[in-house]
Amino acid sequence: MSTISRDEVARVAALARIDLRPEEVDRLAGELDVIVTSIAKVNQVATPDVPATSHPLPMTNVFREDVPVPALPVADVLAGAPDSQDGKFLVPQILGEE
């Protein structure tokens, strides 16, 4: 027995302003019925002792702890820079502003 009727598909299509031909309504009613039936099967299997999951594999945090450490000395940071001025990186001006 179909849980999604042809009339329901036509009504939702009209609400969404989707113009469907009669054969499309028939096809979609069948496809949506398969989807609803599949969801019903999953609901039968999903019992209270089966935990809900959002991912098929257990997920753990793979990031290291965020531990503050002393900053690098400015001289060490600027040692690899092409140019510096007053303890800052010196880059070419790209905008026509002062």
pLDDT at 51 over 80: no
**C-beta neighbour count of 92 within 10 angstroms:** 6
Segment 53-62, tens digit of pLDDT: 778 888 787 7
Cα distance between residue 36 and residue 4, in whole Å = 8
Q: What is the model's pTM? A: 0.47
Contact predicate 13/29, CB 8 Å: no
Cα distance between residue 9 and residue 29, in whole Å = 6
The reply to whether CATH 1.10.20.60 applies to domain 1-45 is yes
Segment 12-48, tens digit of pLDDT: 999 999 999 999 999 999 999 999 999 888 888 877 8
Q: What residue segments make up the domains of the chain, in order of their start?
A: 1-45
Cα distance between residue 45 and residue 41, in whole Å = 7
> In the structure, what pLDDT confidence band is assigned to residue 11 with cuts at 50, 70 and 90?
very high
